[in-house]
Amino acid sequence: MEPKDTFFSKKRSIKCRGEIIDLSEPQIMGILNITPDSFYDGGRYKSADEIKNRVSEMIHEGCDILDIGAFSTRPGAENITENEERNRLTPVLELIKHQFPDLILSVDTFRSGIAKYVVENFNVDIINDISAGDLDSKMLDTIAELNVPYIMMHMKGTPETMQQNPEYKNVVKEVIGYFSKKVQQAKLMGISDVIIDPGFGFGKTIEHNYQLLKHLDDFRIFELPVLVGLSRKSMIYKTLDISPDESLNGTTVLNTLALVGGANIVRVHDIKAAREAIHLVNKFSKVNVNDWYE
């Protein structure tokens, strides 16, 4: 492998609003959970002013894409109806589209009806699906119809069952095998912009998560952008015996390893720390080792 291929993947791009977004420089996806029960920030942003101030802060710190989630997928979370998910999303999307019209928006949903609603009514740019269409058989058809970038994540089981003793013979091979089928299916259906997410914490033990991170560069075989979501997850705080609130440093360490492994998008709660990690890894990757021997 040439030195230039050691860190960031070869040039990648997605198309949003008719514009090409270059992913050769890793992008930051900021997380805005508008649920009362997410594992880290559930219930923090309730009022319009709180949401507006938080989004403004994230943009100031360097957020490239805002991912909005109205359905908590942590184990034991409330299983809300599609109508409730829509009711949670509507006022927030109205506010953000009005206040921040140029911000690239992603909605985190596994429901095709929600995907169709947010794209057609609020021009949402990206759909982020934790199930890669497995929880809604209409999702891939809907994405093909909407013609928007699609993040497909690997999850073993459902949000209710995913952490009930997940087992793999080889987690890296099985997740890659899963995406081999899903990516081919998406291509056959005419979905042109696919981003893959190995699904850290979704139907994996802590050991499985670290195996996937260790072999993240194996996912380059697909020649597609790779997104990682490691922010403040249990693979950090359980390993260090701390709380999610104390997991920023651990998150930055793992995001750095993911960037070295070729991640194109990091999905995070903490924008400033992620921006600094990208800047430093980018600086490091551009060092010419031959300069030391001249």
Give CA separation, 14 vs 26, 195, 233, in Å: 12, 9, 27
Strand partners, 7: none
In the chain, pLDDT over 70 holds for what percent of residues?
87
Kindly give, in sequence order, each residue whose CB lies less than 8 Å from that of residue 260, ignoring residues fewer than 6 positions away: 6, 7, 281, 285
pLDDT-derived band at 288, boundaries 50, 70, 90: confident
What amino acid occupies position 268?
V
Give the pLDDT confidence of 100-116 residue by residue, as tens digits: 999 999 999 999 999 99
What amino acid occupies position 253?
V
Q: Residue 77: what are its φ and ψ, rounded to 5°?
A: -70, 160
pLDDT (0 to 100) of residue 86: 95
pLDDT-derived band at 42, boundaries 50, 70, 90: very low
> What's the distance, CA 97 to chain centroid?
21
CB 216 within 8 A of CB 258: yes
Q: Quick one: which H or E segment has residue 207?
A: helix 206-214
Give the pLDDT confidence of 84-94 residue by residue, as tens digits: 999 999 999 99
The structure tokens listed for 101 are 């019209």
pLDDT (0 to 100) of residue 52: 93
pLDDT (0 to 100) of residue 286: 86
Distance (Å, whole) CA 273 – CA 21: 22
Q: What sections of 14-157 are H helices per DSSP?
A: 48-61, 82-99, 112-122, 139-146
Give the pLDDT confidence of 214-261 residue by residue, as tens digits: 999 999 999 999 999 999 999 999 999 999 999 999 999 999 999 999
CB 263 within 8 A of CB 285: no
User: Does pLDDT of 182 surpass 90?
Assistant: yes
User: Does pLDDT of 44 surpass 80?
Assistant: no
User: Does pLDDT of 9 surpass 80?
Assistant: no
**Among all residues, which ones are annotated catalytic?**
233, 267
pLDDT (0 to 100) of residue 163: 60
Domains of the chain, start order: 25-287 (3.20.20.20)
Give the pLDDT confidence of 54-64 residue by residue, as tens digits: 999 999 999 99
CB 229 within 8 A of CB 200: yes
pLDDT (0 to 100) of residue 17: 84
- Average pLDDT value over all residues in the chain: 89
Q: At what angle do helices 82-99 and 112-122 cross, to 10 degrees?
A: 20
DSSP state letter for 162 = T
Which carries the bigger pLDDT value, residue 79 or residue 118? 118
User: Does pLDDT of 80 surpass 70?
Assistant: yes
DSSP, residue by residue, 64-101? SEEEEE-S--STT-----HHHHHHHHHHHHHHHHHH-T
Best CA proximity match to 67, nearest among 101, 107, 34: 107
CB 57 within 8 A of CB 41: no
Between the ranges 42-46, 162-166, 194-198, where is the mean pLDDT highest? 194-198
Which carries the bigger pLDDT value, residue 42 or residue 146? 146
User: Does pLDDT of 3 surpass 90?
Assistant: no
**β-pairing, 19-22 with 13-16?**
antiparallel
